[in-house]
Amino acid sequence: MVNLYRIVDNLISLTENKYEQLKDIYLLTEQQSLAIDAEDMDNLGELINRKQQKIDIIVNLDSQFESITDDLKTIYDVKSLDELETQSANIALLKEGISKVTDILHQILGAENINKKKIEESKSIIEEKMQGTQTGKTALKQYGGMQTYADAVFFDKKID
């Protein structure tokens, strides 16, 4: 029969790895906030790329976790891991790890929402500035504007 303790330990390891990746994502999200404040779009782009790499790792971890839990549910004929609690003491450790993952996910979501608001505010300011520029162009056109000459003008002067 399958060693439940070893399988649950593997799930705990996957959960701990996911938590570490999420901590990195949280730090990257905080750095994004600073980049938004500084209007440093190059740095913001780099942070987004680094965050995406972490997300890709998490997707892989989640896939492995789901596959193992599905197998466990089939082998032990249970609908949730909670039903295995009486069969393995380390299920409590797994639940603790999952709780930590959930907590940091909430922190990331809060930081992401703050960043989203900052970006929306920046976008509104830029749109207002652009609207002001358009108003200035319209006013200049209404006064007829100044005629510009694109042709070159040469002055010929004889030097003695």
The total of structural domains in the chain comes to 1
- Whichever domain contains 82, its CATH number is 1.20.58
Three-class secondary structure of residue 160 per DSSP: coil
Q: What pLDDT score was predicted for residue 91?
A: 86
Residue 155 lies in a domain: no
Residue 132 lies in a domain: no
Q: Do residues 5 and 91 make contact, with C-beta atoms less than 8 angstroms apart?
A: no
Q: What is the pTM (predicted TM-score) of this model?
A: 0.75
For residue 80, the enclosing domain spans 4-118
In tens digits, the chain (160 residues) has pLDDT values of 568 888 889 999 999 999 999 999 999 999 999 999 998 989 999 999 999 999 999 999 999 999 999 988 888 888 887 777 655 668 888 999 999 999 999 999 999 999 999 988 887 777 676 666 666 566 556 555 555 544 544 455 555 5
Q: Do residues 31 and 45 make contact, with C-beta atoms less than 8 angstroms apart?
A: no
**Cα separation, 53 vs 42, whole angstroms:** 17
Q: What pLDDT score was predicted for residue 121?
A: 86
Q: What pLDDT score was predicted for residue 5?
A: 85
